[in-house]
Structures are given as structure tokens and as C-alpha cells.
Structure 1
Amino acid sequence: MLDMLVVGGGYVGLAAAVAVKQAAPHLDVVVIEAAPETAWKKDTRASAIIAAASKMLEVFGIWDEIKPEAEPITRMIVTDSRTGDPVRPVFLTFDGEVAEGQPFAHMVPNLTMVGALRGACERLGISIRHGVSATDFKTGDTNVTLTLSDGSALEAKLLVACDGVRSKLRDMAGIKTVSWDYGQSGIVVTVEHERPHNGCAEEHFLPSGPFAILPLKNNRASLVWTERTSDADRLVAADDLVFEEELERRFGHKLGALHTVGERRAFPLGLTLARDFVAPRFALAGDAAHGIHPISGQGLNLGFKDVAALAETVVEADRLGLDIGSINILERYQTWRRFDTFRMGVTTDVLNRLFSNDIMPLRVARDFGLGLVDRLPKLKSFFIGQAAGTAARDNPRLLAGEAI
């Protein structure tokens, strides 16, 4: 019988397996991934990795492998305007460092991050089974049995679902969610531009939703462009000339000529929060537990916080000779993570509703609020510490750069 089964071979699932196996090498950990073995190599997107998460990757021994491809965010500016405004006044600026020489976040290509995590799995002896999906699971007193699409079955003490916001395992476990659709989609695309960005990230609040420009290596940027779903679908289906013309209206000319690189995709945006994070011998992590609006860039980092908290809970229980799949043990993980997740979900929901409109009284109020924060250095430092994940008092040890 295995000790831990992880369903989902993305960055959260792989990180969960690495975190537990590295701290407790005697535990048998297996990852199940429905996609073919080479599918991850086709991901051209990039993700924001906050300072606390990069500390965890450093503990894993893979940050030095990732860092050469990671672009530090040295500065961030926030504007609130309409698409056709000739000038976009900057209401709020953030210095990108939480400490001397430590950026609050880096932009990391998904290909680089997943590749490094897969390498760590290989070094630790973690098996990754590709091309099979979970079809059912049954929970017993001492084990959980997972049935796979190839007809085989695996037994473990603990099953961890990292299978995304539409988690099938979450449904199988009977865990309900609080969810709603925003009627928006996020267009994700990479662009090349003529002039250097100097590590500056930008968040433009436009009436249809936020338009984020996130710096990458080699005069490139990753865009998260929020539009009403019907408009997003139309833009993604448009030819390159139409798409880049609309893109330029929002991006502006400050970085010179630009053009898109690779495919463009649109993802529907909504809020999904699991009512419970655990059940007997079962735990949710990452998007399976919470899907939030990308307005704060915290979705993946919430998943990494789940990983750090779950691994610490499991490993400490094992060291005490306790059953790692016991509901009493898993409830500690739930208590640790559920409030923070709900708080972030509510925060992103409020921010999206506040800024994704063109109602004049709200515009005046939010612009006044942004300007006020910009004039209070201590408040700005607090916000940047929260965004970097370094200010939380209850951080798991991995997020503080400490081994479990």
C-alpha cells in the first residue's frame, strides 16, 4: 500500500509530492496525470511566483535551476482608465522589493517550473503515471482505493486531489462548492516588444476588467487580458491584424512595436471555493480547492501555500507515528488553509466588482483610495509584504525557506 497518492501532475500536484517525499523519504508517493507524458512541454504560459513560494522552491533544491529563466518584478504600477483615454494617469506605484535584493515576485515560464519539479520527482524516486485518469475511489477504515481508467487500482493511506477547478475527485468525494461566473474571460498571450520593460509590471483597470502586463525575459511580456466572455471569444478567433490592433489600444506604445508570440487562449473566469478541503483520507489542494479571479495574481501561489501546509501536516503526523490519512490530522490542514483562501477569494471578488465597471461615483472613490495608499509608505510596504507572502504570521515552514 502506498502512503500518498496525488492526482494531478501540474505544478501544485508535483510540488505536493516533492514536499512530502523530500521531508520523509521513506513514504511511498505516486502522482497520477491524465495527460500524455509530453503534454506539459506545450505550455507556453508563465506564472507569477511570489517571494515566499520561491523560498519553498529553494528548499526543494530547484530554484537555482529556475532562476535564470525567471524575470524579477522590480516595480509595479496601477492605473484606472478607459480604453480610449489619451493619457493613463498612474494612481499607485509599488517598489518591487520586500527586502534588499529580494523582489516580491518573479515571472517564471510554466515549462521551466514544471520541468524543474519533474526533475525533482525523478531524483526523489517519485513515480508519475501518465495517460490514466481517476474513475472512482472508495474510502475504508485504513486506506483509500483509487480506480483508474485502465482498469487498475491503487491503495494509499491518503489521496490528494490536485485535478483543477473542475475537480472530478472533489465531486466524487461529495464536497460542495460556492461558485459563480463573472461573465468574463481572461485572454492569455505572450508578446514581444521593442523597448525593455526594466522589470516593471503594470495593472490597467479598464471597464471590461483588468489588463495586466507582466515582464518576461528578452523584451517579452505575459498578458492577462480580461474581457467580457463574448468579446474575448471574438478576439481570440480574430485574425492577427485585428487582434494586435485591439491589443495595442490597451497596451499602448511606451515599449515600441509589439507582436504576439505563440497561441492565444481565453479562459472563463469565476469564483469557486470548496466548502470543505478534506474528507476521511482525502484532501484538496490548488485549484481543486479554490479558483479565484486572476486580478491579484495569487491563484498559483495559493496552491503553493496549500502544498506547504499539507506537507507539514502530513510529515509531522508521520514523525509522531500517527495515521497521515486520519480526518483528525487532515482537519489541521483545513483549519490552516481555509480562512486564508476564503479571505483571498472575497478580496479578489470585491476588487473585480469594484474595478470592472465605468460607474463614475465608483471611479472617483477607487481612484481616491489608490491615490491615498500611494501616499502612505507604511501601508504600501504592508500590501507588498502581503502580496509577497512574507508577512503572514502563520506561514508554513517551507514558505519561510525552512525544511520541514
Structure 2
Amino acid sequence: MKVDVAIAGGGLVGASLALALSSLKLKVVLIEAHPFGSTDQPSFDDRTTALSNGSRRIFQGIGVWPLLEREATPIRRIHVSDQGRFAFARIDAQEQNLQALGFVVINRIMGAALWRRLQEEAVAILAPAKVMSSELKDDGREITCEVGSEATVTVQAKLVIAADGARSIVRESAGIGSTTWDYGQHALVTNVFTQRFHDYVAYERFTPEGPIALLPMSEGRCGLIWTFTPDVAARMTGLADGAFLERLQQAFGFRLGRFTKVGSRQLYPLALTRADEHVAPRLAVVGNAAQALHPIAGQGFNLGLRDAASIAEVLADALAERRGDEEFDAGDGLLLERYREWRSADRQKIVGFTDGLVRLFSQPFGPVKLARNLGMLAFDLMPSAKDALSQLSLGAAGRIPRLARGAKL
């Protein structure tokens, strides 16, 4: 099979990129290890994702948002606090002249919408197919995939996109290493019901045991992400529902009244993984294969989706610049260099911002706690700081992809 672009990994970012490229005159194949439409795809689970306004526009541009809109819960306000301390910070969408600061969607629902759009656009999909190797050739890359128990398929692509997660086989086979910092934390993820309606407020509360994020969801539910050390996380998972809710009540307080019900609890280890490069010869890295972040600031998926929108725009612009019947090379080194330069500033600032928050709010020392609380108070009184933070919905630095601005690719 010969194609212009082969995307390895059909998770949320890889599937989004395949849809973005489906509007271009390119031959694209999406290679996914799980059966098409399968709920076994690890990124299509019951976790929730806070979509930024930029991500909403990207989904609108690739035709996914109309399938999500009814299931998406807007975030109208954000409230940040530190347990046992005096300070808090608030951001209000209305003050920022926004309809919402973001939207909360269940990953499983996003996955189903993406698969449906892939079918509608007749995107070529090779699934289930496990990538075994990726080898650089003179005019492209050759990917060998295992299909079934014995059969193999070879894909020859001008450009390969590594979208196969933090432990990307495709990225590593291209010689791009990665650095991982284990935070020594696990995220406990579940849904809870509360006595009072969440009123579309997202809460971030920092506690001695770890940060608590409560995201507004449909049917009055809240998505809970509570971070602990691994041993405490295991104990919290094993608690009876009543005992767990009592611990949560003590840590979070009564802003939403009493917690009345909790769903099943799942644990996810937390680490920061960064690829050493965004590109290699005839290869680009996107999503978690490029950077996997702590969920404390809710920026990981949004950053990865901007990766996808950016490489799609680089290819779209190059196609538009092509002269006559000139053969198009999607893996040209100049195009990959454009992508690398474009993504570096946004990536560096978002990674630094997220990692800095984790480290700042993990410090147990009194002077550090006092300083961060004074900082929150100052932030709450400074409109300019809130304006700057709200801009994270489009990107931290550098050029903003057209799709994220609501323009056509």
C-alpha cells in the first residue's frame, strides 16, 4: 500500500488528524491497533476531557463538534483554592467575553464521534493492525504491520505521523528518544453526584494529599480527578463508597453541599514524558507521542490537538503552493522543519506551565504555601492575569492554527 501520509495511532489525536487531512487531496491511511469502533481503544474510556475553545473550533472544523455539542457541558467559571489556606482565585467566562471557558466531554463519546466521522469521510483505515517496525527508505518510510495472527501488511508512506502514545514504537524506531519524569503520583478518576447543582463551575482544590479537580458534567454529575501517592491511591480505591465520600467531603468542603454518590474508581499513573524532537526524516510526532502531561491544568489533549491542526495546516499550505502538476512530497524536510519550529514555543510553555503547577502545589513548606496563596490572591485581583490565562484556550505562544481560530484549513 502506497500513501502520502500514514498515521500510526487512531486515538483521539490521530483520528482527529486523519479527519483534518481528509479534506486535502492526499492519500491517507490511519493505522490502529484495535478493531475499528472498538471501545477497547485506551483513549476512548470513561475519563473526561476539558476541551478548550480552540479545541472546540478544531472539532467544529472537522465536523465532530455537532456530534458532541449535546453531550458537552460548558465551563462557565473556574474556582481554584488551597485547603486550609485563605486564598482562592476565580475566572469567569462572562468577564472574558466568552460563552464558556471550555467544555467537558467524556472520552468515550469523543471517540464514537470521531469514528463516525471517519466512516462518513471514507478515510482509509487499517485496523486492527499492530505496527511492528518503521524503516526509512530513499523516498519515504516503510511500515510493517501485523494484521491478525499471521498476516503482515507493508505501508509505504512519504510521511509517517507518530500518534501512538507516550511509549510510541514509531517514534522510537525513527531514533527519537524521550525523557520521562515520574511524579510518583496516581490519578483516581471517577464521577460523583452532589447535593447542589454544579452551576457549570470547574473546581481545582489543592490538598496535602494531592490536587482535586471537579469538572461539571451532564445530569448534574461532576467528573472527579484526585491525585495521590500510589499507596494512598490504592487505599482510596479500596474504600467503601460511604467512607470514600466522607474523605472527599473533608478534603473538598461543602461548596456543592454533600457528595451523595460515587461511580467506579480507576487509577492512572502520572508522569511527564517529552519526546526529544518533534520530527525525524519523513516523520512527525503528535499528541502524547510528543508530550504526555500531568492532568492538573487540563492542557495535554488540547496541546496534542494543536499538534494535529498544525501539521495539517503545514501540508495544506504546501499543497496550495504547489505549481501545476508538480509531484507533492508530504515528507519533504522543509515542511517538517516548519512544523518543528511552529510547535516548539507552544509546547515549551505549556509543558513548563503544567510541570510548574505540579511542583509548586506539591511543596509542603510553610513559606512556599504562603507565597502561592498570596499569588492566588493577587491573581484574583488582576484582570490582565486572567486574560493571559484564558488565552491558553488557543495556545501558549506562537502562531495559532487556523482550525483553532475557527477558519478553514
Q: Please, what TM-score do these two structures have when normalized by structure 2?
A: 0.91
Give 1:295's aligned residue.
Answer: 296
Q: 1:353 Cα shift?
A: 0.9
**1:148 lines up with 2:145 in the alignment:** yes
Partner Cα distance (1:314, 1:102) in 2: 32
Q: Which residue of 2 aligns with 1:279?
A: 280
Q: Residue 295 of structure 1 aligns to a residue in which SS?
A: helix
Residue 152 of structure 1 deviates from its aligned partner by 1.6
1:1-400 mapped onto 2 (5 Å cutoff): 1-22=2-23, 24=24, 26-37=25-36, 38-39=38-39, 43-81=45-83, 85=84, 89-97=86-94, 100-150=97-147, 151-260=152-261, 262-321=263-322, 322-385=328-391, 387-389=392-394, 394-400=399-405
- Contact between 2:278 and 2:340, CA under 8 Å: does it hold in 1? yes
Partners of 1:69 and 1:173 lie apart in 2 by: 39
**Matched position secondary structure for 2:22:** helix
Equivalent-residue separation in structure 1 for 2:225 and 2:76 (angstroms): 19
The DSSP-based 3-state class of the residue aligned with 2:81 is strand
Percent of aligned pairs with the same amino acid: 36
Moved more, 34-43 or 215-224: 34-43
- The worse-fitting range, judged by mean Cα deviation, of 149-158 and 299-308 is 149-158
| Residue pair 2:245, 2:262 contacting (<8 A) in 1 also | no
- SS of equivalent to 1:315: helix
Q: CA deviation at 1:39?
A: 1.9
Could you list the runs of 5+ residues in structure 2 that have no partner in the other structure?
323-327
Q: Which amino acid aligns with 1:368?
A: L
| 1:269-294: CA deviation from partner (whole Å, max 9, x where unpaired) | 11111111111111110000001111
- May I ask how many residue pairs the two structures share in their alignment? 396
Shift of 1:168: 1.7
Cα RMSD between the aligned structures? 1.9
Q: Tell me which amino acid in the other structure corresponds to 1:270.
A: A
Moved over 4 A (4+): 259-262, 390-393
Q: How has the CA–CA distance of structure 1 residues 259 and 338 changed in structure 2, closer, same or farther, with 3 Å as cutoff?
A: farther
Secondary structure of the residue aligned to 2:15 is helix
Higher alpha-carbon deviation: 259-268 or 127-136: 259-268
CA contact (8 A) 1:193 1:256 kept: yes
Q: Shift of residue 393 of structure 1?
A: 5.3
CA distance in 1, matches of 2:258, 2:337: 53
Partner of 2:325: none
SS of equivalent to 2:264: strand
